[in-house]
Amino acid sequence: MIQWYYLTLISSSLVGVASILEKKVLRRAHALSYSSITTIFIALLSLSFIPFLDFNIKPIYWVVLYAMGITSAISYWLTARVYKHANISVSTPILSTAPQMLTVIFGYLLLGEVLSFIQYAGIAILLSATFLLVSHTAKPSTKRYAKKYPVMLAAIVFLIAIGAIMLKFVLSGVTIYTALFIIEMFVAFNLFVILRHNHGNKKEIKRNVKKFWKPILIIAIIAILYRITYYAAAAEAPISLVSPLRNVVNIMIIVSVSGVIFHEKNIKRKIALSAVMIAAAFMIIL
C-alpha cells in the first residue's frame, strides 16, 4: 500500500495543476456557473464508483456527509470567485496555509491530535510569511471586490478547515469511494440550488458547457484523482499532518506558472515567501 505522504504529495500536485486550469477558464466563465458545471461533471464521473459503494452507513455519518456537501458547495463557489477576481499566486498560498492552521487547532480541540513544539513553530512561521505576502500584494483585480475579497477568503478558510475535520470523522465509518460519491452528489445538488437562486440563466449555462466542456472535463477528472488520493491519505494519518503537507507543493507550482501564464507581478518575491511557507509546513509534519 502506498504511504500516506506519497498520496498527499500526489494530491497536492494535482491540485496545483487543476488550479492553473481553473484560473484560465474563469477568465472567461462566470464563477457560479463554472462551479456548478464542474461539480455536475465530477458527480457524473463518480458514478463509476457504484460497484465499490457501501451505503450501510450510520445516521450520524449521513448528517455529516450532507453538512460537508453544503460547506463544500459554498467553498467551491467562493473559491471560484476568488480565482476569477484576484491574483492566483496570492489567493492560493493563503488558501493553502490558513485553513491548515485552523485544521490543526480544530484537530486538537475536536479530535485530540497533539503537535510538537517544532510543529507549532512551523505554524507561527506560516502565519508570518502569509502576512508578509498578503500585506503587500494581496489585491483583487477589480475595485468591486476590494471589500468582499478578505471576507470571502476568511469564509473559505473556515469552510475548508471544518470540512477537513468532518472528513476525518466520516472516514472513520465510511469507505473512501462511498464518502466521495455521496459528498459529490450532495455538492452538485446544493450548487444547483444556489445557481437557480442566484443566477439561473439556462442560456449561459448551455453556452459555458458548449464552450468550456473540454477543459472542465479535464479539471473534473483531475479533481476526482486528487480527492481520492487525499481521502486515502486522510484515512491513514492524522488530518493535522495530511492537511499541511497536501497544501504546500501546489503553492510552488502555481506561483511559478502564474507569472508566465497570467503575467502577474512580484513573482520572485512571492516564490521566496512561498518557499519559506513550504519549509515551515514541512516542520509541521516532522
What pLDDT is stored for residue 256 in this prediction? 66
- Specify the pLDDT at position 181: 95
Q: How high is the pLDDT of residue 67?
A: 95
The pLDDT value given to residue 84: 66
* 235 Cβ contact list (under 8 Å, min separation 6): 171, 176
**Cell numbers given for 90:** 496570492
Residue 157 CA to residue 161 CA, distance in Å, equals: 6
Helices 31-45 and 4-26: crossing angle in degrees, nearest 10, is: 140
Task: Look at residue 230 in the predicted model and tell me its pLDDT.
Answer: 93
Give the residues of the chain that fall short of pLDDT 70.
Answer: 1, 31, 83-93, 96, 130-131, 133-147, 196-204, 250-252, 254-267, 286
Q: What's the pLDDT score for residue 198?
A: 63
Which domain, by its residues, includes 161?
Answer: 4-285
Q: Give Cα separations from 211 to 35, 38, 109, 207 (angstroms).
A: 15, 13, 46, 6
Q: What is the pLDDT of residues 119-162, one digit of tens each?
A: 778 878 877 776 676 555 445 454 555 567 778 888 888 998 99
Per the structure, the count of domains in the chain is: 1
